[in-house]
Amino acid sequence: MNTSFIIRCSAIAAAASLVAITSTAAAGHLPPPLGAGEQPLSAGVHVFDLVSREQGRPGYKHFPRIAFTLPSGWFNYNGWGVNNGDALSMSFWDVDKVYPTGCQWQGKPKIDPGRTVNGLARALATRPLRHASKPTAVALAGFHGKYLRWSVPSGINLSSCDQGYFESWTGRGWTTDRWQQGAGQVDRLWILDVKGKRIVVDANYLPSATRTQRAQLDHVVHSIRFLTGSPRETSSAASGRGASNGDWIAYSTAPARGGTCYDPLSKACGSDVFVTRASGGRPVLVAGRGRGRWGRIWNVCPVFSPNGRMLAFARVAGLRSAIVVVPIRGPRGSVDGVLGAPWSTLKVPGTRIRCPRWSSDSSRLAYLERGRIVVRGLDGSRPHRTTGDPTIRDFDRNRQKVVSTTHDLIARFGADGTIVVSGPDGSDQRVIKADLDGYSSYGIAGWSPDGRKLLLMTDVGGGFRMTAVSVEPPFASKTVVAYVRVNTARSWPGNGDVSWQPLPRS
């Protein structure tokens, strides 16, 4: 059978479906704009409002909303990008500065392309390693600009690049930095002048993308419509649309004096994983330190899956290392699923702690091995990396600056010991007292899934108390755990990680 004929037929069918749904959008039946978080999307028309996702920079007030049409199986990414959970992605950018080269960029001044379409097109087309096509005049969704195509070298090892990133540009407004996800990645770029504002539509695919998938991505791009006269909502209202908060917070313990055990059989050695209600209550032990063949067991780095249905953590028992996955099958408000469900154990090489991170669709885990990201399926397989898998930045353990789960806020310690919360660019700054209830906050443990609460570790002498604090005035606080036997949540990698469960979903 002629496979090219099948592909053409599939593309025609997809195009007909998109036209039909776009006609529905034109008739006025539009959904509300997508907000923060990473959620699966139904087939049909979806809307971005980049103004509501903007992080404090002025100048976007009159930028129109953007409607586009997706087939089934795609995901939202924080209200400014979408992906199919595999090899396809589309996002919108207000480009600020361009990296001089994609790989060895550190210490080199970025290029200012100005604010014109032609200036940015010239800057991108002349970057080394990118094999960019010559910019050509183009029209998309009724607006004119330039089009070019560039790529990442197919044989490059991204871990050899500065800090493990192959960079493209920095962004203004709703997002900050564009780096590439894999060797051989191709980006198709439409640089448009939309009512006096320059916008870049970045439609990209990995080498694993099939011809049918690439055709699908092209149809998604050409379904884009810039809407006029649509009502706005405030940034704060949109930013509250992250994942909802679940009932449970997981954490691990460690010796208050440090992570080194001078006596492997000492009771001070080893680490437990607990879960506790976010509203407070008695913690429940998930994995205890016990006493294995070679001494105490370390259970560390607990992290809930994005769908809220699983808890993963690292385990080191003597000469054996593993990542443990515990399904959470009990109803909301119950930990029966944690305590009674069978564990899945992924063996990992060596005896070092491998702190896991989840893919956006909760189907895979990743960890670092000698600075390189290793992806594992839940069945133990080693699939190739793809869109939605953790990147090197997901393993950042900066204890001075912690980015919210919705990516729109950053928490850090101020010079006077206060907690300062702001947008990524320093805007919308608010200050939270660090001496909650008379005790000094010592560690920023993490964020709630909705990005509205901050988890702080407070020194109470010989241990730490975990407190959930609202980042909105009047900064109400709630004690989650009165005493945690661990010295700061983030200062010793692998010893004090904290994870707040997203509201479970299918």
The answer to whether 369 and 390 are in contact (CB under 8 A) is no
E strands of 290-356, at which residues?
297-304, 310-317, 320-327, 344-348
Please tell me the predicted confidence (pLDDT) of residue 222.
94
The answer to whether 219 and 18 are in contact (CB under 8 A) is yes
| Of the options 2.115.10, 3.20.20, 3.30.1760, 2.60.120, the CATH number for the domain spanning 245-497 | 2.115.10
Please tell me the predicted confidence (pLDDT) of residue 383.
87
pLDDT digits (tens, 9 = 90+) for 259-297: 455 444 455 577 888 888 888 888 888 888 776 555 578
Please tell me the predicted confidence (pLDDT) of residue 337.
47
CA distance 488 to 464: 7
pLDDT digits (tens, 9 = 90+) for 59-93: 455 688 999 999 999 999 888 999 998 899 999 99
Please tell me the predicted confidence (pLDDT) of residue 169.
95
Please tell me the predicted confidence (pLDDT) of residue 68.
95
Half-sphere exposure of 501 (CA within 13 A, CB side): 26
CA distance 77 to 32: 15
Q: Which of 116-125, 309-318, 418-427, 487-496 has the lowest mean pLDDT?
A: 487-496
Please tell me the predicted confidence (pLDDT) of residue 392.
80
Mean pLDDT of 79-108: 94
pLDDT digits (tens, 9 = 90+) for 238-264: 333 457 888 899 988 876 544 455 444
pLDDT above 70 coverage of the chain, percent? 77
Neighbour count for residue 46 (Cβ, 10 Å): 22
Mean pLDDT of 42-48: 93
User: Please, where in the chain does CATH 2.115.10 lie?
Assistant: 245-497
pTM (whole model) above 0.85 = no
Please tell me the predicted confidence (pLDDT) of residue 318.
74
Residue 444: band (very low, low, confident or very high) from pLDDT cuts 50, 70, 90:
confident
pLDDT digits (tens, 9 = 90+) for 160-177: 999 888 999 998 878 778
Query: Does residue 380 or residue 205 have the better pLDDT?
Result: 205
Please tell me the predicted confidence (pLDDT) of residue 385.
81
Query: Does residue 38 or residue 102 have the better pLDDT?
Result: 102
Residue 489 has pLDDT above 80, yes or no: no
Please tell me the predicted confidence (pLDDT) of residue 199.
95
Please tell me the predicted confidence (pLDDT) of residue 1.
35
pLDDT digits (tens, 9 = 90+) for 366-399: 998 877 889 999 888 888 888 788 888 788 766 6
Strands 273-277 and 284-287: antiparallel
